[in-house]
Structure 1
């Protein structure tokens, strides 16, 4: 870190009074010698000319220590989750969340808490940094506390995520007559940057609801129901012990929905939902209610415009229709429910062979009909069969999928009105029409006349490669979004699912996805073809060791923008191998908890030879956790910052930590050795206090004088 950058950070802390934590351990001390196996030299690699790479027998390339350098700020993001008092929170969980773009806005609780990792009992955490070039935040949550994010300003600095307790907001929704309103959607709103807002609550039969606010403060409330117009409340002061809220809904006009059995009488208790097709309006939820004993449901205050009506009842197929509200109403809609039907479609290629693992679509002929989620895209099973159940009776089109199908379908559907049969030509030649009947299983065959197949053969310098996953994807699109994929068999080949004519990029994944190799571009023009993919023969090998022996379980990977995906975990003897590397400049990094991160200097690969790093030494890291006692209270300092600086024996600033909870500080990833702690508080810099730092955790208490 430069002096200018550090000065800027300190200035920001002084002006804003932020408890900013910033440290950047120096790692410019040359690694000490380590015992080297197999006759390598004591500098960690086989002997070569200083600072240069040399070719050895069999194309083996070795590097001297001048080609290797410790990492700066790579490896793990470490920190702690604390409560308002600065103490670590038990049962806290964390995860890394990408920063920037829309993610700069607040994240709801349900989105933020996905895929979290448990912290240590003291709230500490260590998260592997998958992409050092990507800005991240650390999201955290704990029982009884609202989730929050804290920015990762520098991966080499500890991150403190401070959580605040959740506050319960309760209340009830009633109509003008004071009767409870059931199934109303209640949303809590706050500032755009606020994390942790809860998912909407749904009022119960007595109209009651409970929401967990992400801390005390000023909030808003949005209520949408079938009983009337939307209600918006602002300036609600949320605090512990607050009185329950009472929301009164008023309405008129709207829609009257009459639900009956096909060929029978009214259906009581059917769920009726009306949701706007406007993205802005739909964001605030839907209007929901249930039919009475006469099969009638009333939804009041429906604005003119386009809506989707959903009607569902146990034992009947769910019905979805587009409804155009043309006036304030009331307008009447009649819906007949019938037993659900089932459709089984067998998908075959042009030669009649079943196509497993292929995505197909289902679309009603009547474009006013909107399919329920259960009728979404399907992937064929090993026998090439796709199955839909719970379908409303009627005419459907089964459409062959593949890259570009969604755009093609949206273009064909146009405004979503009319008869799809009149627009069938826009669906391509891989389509079949099927009539679904109530309570019956209907079977059909879809022939993929508009698709072609690719057989991929994967080889390395020793012959066919078994168990390689081959993917086809659009150029410029990540392989995770492949339109076709398959795993090579004993002969090193795989017949991929059919794809539409186009130009595709191929990729090969090996070693359970740890290695990804870019294959050739493949042009599909209608006829099936065979493509051979030859894997590059470049590789990097080496051994990670500490002063007391090999380091097992470390993750070693290729990194940098545009670098191929390739990583490995060191074995019990510390060794690793990264095969199938293409020609180009490579950058390696190694990370494992308890050690300082390591990163290589640029390595040149010719795509054919081995680059041998020999033995690379990892130095153990130290952690300093301490307290600075006897300082003036924070209340007496105004905006003055309270910092602890870590200086090396040359008087150079190595790291800076703001005091947490008044007197606590912490430094992670510190190289063991002699240091001096310098405290600044209340505008005064205290004399330095020498300390000796050893490997592992170092607990210290200092009293500046």
Structure 2
């Protein structure tokens, strides 16, 4: 991502990315060893599971697919109890053991005039029931009040469960749209969903849903296609979803010892940060994973008595079905237990994760009655981590040691914890509906490694009441927020005493005005579906999205002056005749109780690019997949930034198309400017063309893919049992990774574009890296010898005061590895800095490394994230002491927006060694603070307020230079001068 992109990213965009990473990480850590219990789409098969042990004997646990079907019945009612006919009522299940295709499926019916409904033909597994109806907000069945209401319905084979009633509130908005494939044809029968609302597309591809008004997320899936999604606003937006033809993985799971089939194995396919799918092997061991997008997939198989990985990643082209893949499964074991709530009840929602630093992680979601079944667990000693929604887990649980047999009957108890309850009201005292309330723990510097808890409420109802559950005693910040409302500011600070809940807490939202406006292009045409953001004195401000006529509405804006910007793909849309280095947007002042209006005019959004995709011999490629990413025209943009950004950008139907039988394509509804186009083809391989202007015709050549293979050896002899390999081409941003299990140290990546790669290997026995190059259609081989792992100790200090910084998690990995984090990570206690700032990280390889430093449990302790490049010395000892690591405290408060220094720096080229990186000024805003202070384009920034920011210290620049408006910063320059720059307001 370019420095320009980074600078323009809003708090909302950052939050969206953090949420995506959190979700992805939570799925990996919670499900990777059992197969995910939810995902995209895949096929299932019949299987026999193994039940509990009674009197020393295993009792068979029949697969629910083989059992007699069940039924659910009940009524849909208005909030006042009146019957509601014509509602769409659906049942579904996320029960472990079902394929992700089965989990995505819904059995639906329509309620009769008296509100009654009946759904039959259901698997006898726990089901949830939800309903939607014209003019109403969709909702689901709940048993009991508040956040701890039960939502699952237990079904018995051959029986009907009655009395499952759903209550719907009035106030729903109509959402309309159309589903097409990437060639433009309408799709009939696609399953379209938005939260708890479901519908099928008609013969012309159209559909209608009734949802909660405002911004919403919508998905569509259909047989033969991968799932598609879109964000938009209801009412007012016509949703257009374009589905990609599915790719399919097929193969067989067999026992490594004798090649016999493994029935009932969960086969998990993962594409990095994108697609997750799960299928179940049939009686002959065969599996079929459907609904996949093109790309490289890792494949794992999990069974009560076995675990295995595919020998290499499977690379799928668009609409391609793989050659049969054989997964050899080795002996492994089942770990089974129950999550119970103190007092005797069982947990309904949550998961358990087992972690052994030498073996890895195994996890599973909680089933009915608190049961957890972790399959395919290899021998080792595991530390359990338990998560039960709205309850407090113990700080630690007894280790689980797996030797050579299944373990059953384990019990993990959680506590109810304490609660904070209250109301959210508007400034005039009226109850505020539709907000989430959060309780954020505030760290105790004297106990930086202590367990902390946080909580989120359900949306507030008509009375504005909220309930925060599962909290430990301590100091909390309580605040309320939504997309439409500003966050309550300042947050309410409360102390939750031991053994006592807090009641009748009042959270008051600030007085607001309203902002309405339109976004139109230079031709006077509306621009729909772009995000409208406010920039001003706060970071967390309401946002909106334009509807079909280009209009938007922000009903609750705090009084003040702002700059209003239209954002697409993380960049502000340019006004005609401007560049990304110009200040974009329009200034507006909002007064309390009044309506302000604004009109944004941006460059034309109706450009087009046409072209043709060919193979290495120049022949046309039909059904190739083409995607466009806009290139920034900022002076701070680096060469190839758009190509690297394309790995992360999620474009819409306009910027993503299929080629026809002649290899031709057309991309439309593009903003003025230049684009990087990337094409992928059936059978693998990709090609790209940069600097393509709208109105151009272009040819994209997909070069023949190469491959990288190699061997991994432990220093002193032997091969690791399991290891992970990451490939990364810094110049193009292409990255791939895979884990290898019992391959004798051999690894292979079969489809790799030409480029220059770093190859990073990590295992329990050591880590190391190498470099190699791949020519078009060429093959590269590397040999990697693992360096012994060390214990790394160090100390965190504040960059300005040199005082110790407690309560920060430190994670160190070989340079080039991807760091994924979640609030639920089971981080060893010693990796959190203590009161003296000291930390200890085990199993670190000597050599080039990166330390990621972040607040423990993501608590706001005044510090952000730091990515520190370092070198772990090889001394021959088993442990090393690092020099103190300096981190910078945030210079703006939690919800304060930074000022504008009026400068941008050019990011170093990807191939630059970190120690040689320089902060070169690429743009200086005319008339801005930096220009007034004498900063010049081409200047090198070497210090900020006396702190060195050159080379390896460059990570300090962002935090030190992000200051409130009116703050003066001393910037040291490579030419020997020091200038004083006073930040302007960002509005």
**Relative contact order, CA 8 A, sep 6+: which one is greater?**
1
After TM superposition, the score normalised by the length of structure 1 is: 0.41
Give me the TM-score of the superposition, normalised by structure 2.
Answer: 0.31
Structure with higher Rg: it is: 1
